[in-house]
Amino acid sequence: RNGTRAKTVLTENTGEVEIDVPRDRAGSFEPQIVKKRQRRLSGVDEVVLSLYAKGLTTGEISAHFAEIYGASVSKETISRITDKVLEEMQAWQTRPLDEIYAAVFIDAIVVKVRDGQVANRPFYAAIGVTLNGERDILGLWAGTGGEGAKFWMSVLTDLRNRGVKDVFFLVCD
């Protein structure tokens, strides 16, 4: 009824984001998410990543911000936030590993994944125990079909290429 005005706030990872702030003639409204005269916005990236991890699309996240917070966050901004996490995940997945592990456990778990429709997909994990007794997740791989010797050989080859030279015990569950 009183209209809105545009406000630009700075976020941690994505830079500037434009939001629509409702006007209040009486001055009695106290904003909860973006306070009055606040120019830096923290927590937006965490909310976007949380919603994205729950399976919402960029359009659904944008609509959620408009409905719940009254803020217009573009699909492109949401994509930039999620792309930064994907880059970090890729760097983690290809990081160098220790040369020697006391034991390496390899296994798969089947998880329901929403990719257009809900389907069961296997996720493969390799967990190493260092000589100091500390556990280290060596890698996670999303599969499309059943487990096979050919797939596990590619996983072990990947581990060797990333620096693992010797394993005292290899445990397949």
- Asked whether residue 164 is domain-assigned, the answer is yes
Identify the band that residue 161 occupies on the pLDDT scale cut at 50, 70 and 90.
very high
> What's the domain count of the chain?
2
Q: Round to whole Å and give the CA distance between 40 and 9.
A: 5
In terms of domains, do 9 and 71 share one?
yes
Backbone phi, then psi, for 93, in 5-degree steps? -65, -30
Q: Alpha carbon of 84 to those of 52, 66, 87: distances in Å?
A: 13, 23, 5
Indicate if the pLDDT at residue 126 is higher than 70: yes
What is the structure's pLDDT at 147? 65
In terms of domains, do 83 and 132 share one?
no
Domain span at residue 141 reads: 100-172
In terms of domains, do 115 and 158 share one?
yes
What is the structure's pLDDT at 9? 77
Q: Which of 34, 57, 89 is at the close of a domain? A: 89
In terms of domains, do 115 and 166 share one?
yes
Structure-model confidence comparison of residues 117 and 148, the more confident one:
117
Structure-model confidence comparison of residues 8 and 140, the more confident one:
140
- Asked whether residue 142 is domain-assigned, the answer is yes
